[in-house]
Amino acid sequence: MAQSITRQSTELRMSTFRLARRLRLENTDDDLSESQFGVLAVLNRFGPHTLSQLAERERVTAPSMNRTVNFLQERGYLRREADAADGRRSNIVITPEGAVTVRATIDKRDAWLTSRMRDLTLEEREALAAASLIMDRLASE
């Protein structure tokens, strides 16, 4: 019989935090934190966003995102472009250096997780891929 939904949600929450901690551990010699990389990857894949849009997508507050964006801007990985129609906004755009960094970071960082995932069966990988989509939907509510 299936577990109760409560039990499933407890398990999912604990597994999510454990995996997040394990992944963070694997990053230590990286120059981008998980949050920083996440922003750059979104810009690279989905194009320019405003600060609020990034904050909402990554599930953090605007001040947190502002800090992350400042860091990435100082490194030259993105730039703020003034919005022609609304002086309060700026459009945040990845730079060529940022795009190169996304690619290099994926290659480097995914060594660990990708290699672990290669040891899984096809079915297990597909279960994780399906779960990723559902997790994003859960997070966006």
DSSP H helical ranges for the chain: 5-25, 34-46, 51-58, 62-74, 96-118, 122-139
Six token digits for residue 56: 């909402």
Which residues, in sequence order, are bridge partners of residue 94? 78
The least CB distance from residue 76 to its own copies, in Å, is 22
User: Which residues have C-beta within 8 Å of that of residue 72, sequence separation ≥ 6?
Assistant: 36, 39, 40, 78, 98
Of 65-73, 76-84, 93-101, 126-134, which part binds its own copies (CB under 8 A)?
126-134
| Distance, CA of 54 to CA of 74 (rounded, Å) | 18
**Is 80 or 99 the residue whose CB approaches DNA more closely?**
80
Nearer to DNA among residue 34 and residue 97 (C-beta): 34
- Pick what 95 binds: DNA, its own copies, none; C-beta below 5 to 8 Å, kind-dependent: none
Position 14: which residue type?
A: M
- 1 part of the interface to its own copies, by CB under 8 A: no
Residue 39 CB partners (closer than 8 Å, separation 6+): 54, 58, 65, 68, 69, 72, 78
Segment 7 to 66, residues that bind its own copies, using CB under 8 A: 8-23, 25, 34-35, 38, 41, 58-60
Query: 30 or 124: whose CB is closer to DNA?
Result: 30
Q: Can you give the binding site for its own copies, defined by CB under 8 A? A: 2-3, 5-6, 8-23, 25, 34-35, 38, 41, 58-60, 106, 109-110, 113-114, 116-118, 120, 122, 124-136, 138-141
